[in-house]
Amino acid sequence: MRPKHTSIGVLAVVVPVCIMLTGCSAQPGPKSSDDKKEPKVQKSADPTSTSELDGTWQAARIEAEDGTSDNDMASNTRLTIAGEKLKVTLGVANMEGLITTDTTQKPKTFDAKASSKEGAKLDWSGIYEFEGDTLKLCIGEPGARPKEFKSNPATLWVLKRVK
């Protein structure tokens, strides 16, 4: 049983909220070329790669590992995606980093990393689905990518596109 203080909810929410983040220096790790399937990891250089995710997304619901929702936190949470660039806004805290996707997987997968000058780090492995103006992210801890869209043992975010 995993201790609660290492939960993705704590890592994804408390750390960035407590520290004002101003920059990003983390790079996503390269995919192994030894993979038998060798799935294409789509990058921003390809205009079709993350174009469906590009834009600003406002959280409508954030569901923690224990199934509880935090509407106040959701109302203060935004993601902005432009190619591989990712900006996460949690209240007054801003985190900038990189995101990569793999649309060949079912469900589609993403990896995101960010860090600050102060040393705070964010490392997400997750799955996503996109329909219309709704983006659903299921965020797991590194090495523990969720397989389905539920909040236990991951964190579930439902976001709406800002127009």
- Go through the domains of the chain in sequence order and give each one's CATH number: 4-21+44-161 (2.40.128)
- 32's CB contacts (< 8 A; 6+ apart) are none
pLDDT band for position 31 (cuts 50, 70, 90): very low
- pLDDT tens track for 121-163: 778 999 999 999 999 999 998 889 999 999 888 999 999 999 8
Q: What is the pLDDT of residue 152?
A: 85
Residue among 121, 92, 99 at smallest CA distance from 55: 99
Tell me how crowded residue 161 is: count the other CB atoms within 10 A of its CB. Answer: 15
- pLDDT class of 1 with cuts at 50, 70, 90: very low
Q: Is the peptide bond before 153 cis (omega within 30 degrees of 0)?
A: yes
Please state the separation of Cα 119 from the chain's center in Å. 19
Strand (E) positions, 1-107? 55-63, 77-82, 85-90, 93-102
Of the candidates 110, 103, 106, 123, which has an alpha carbon nearest to the alpha carbon of residue 81? 110
Give pLDDT, residue 127. Answer: 97
Give me the chain's average pLDDT, please: 74
Query: What's the pTM value of the predicted model, to 2 decimals?
Result: 0.68
pLDDT tens figures, 83-110: 999 988 877 778 899 999 999 999 999 9
**Residue 150: how many other CB atoms lie within 10 Å:** 12
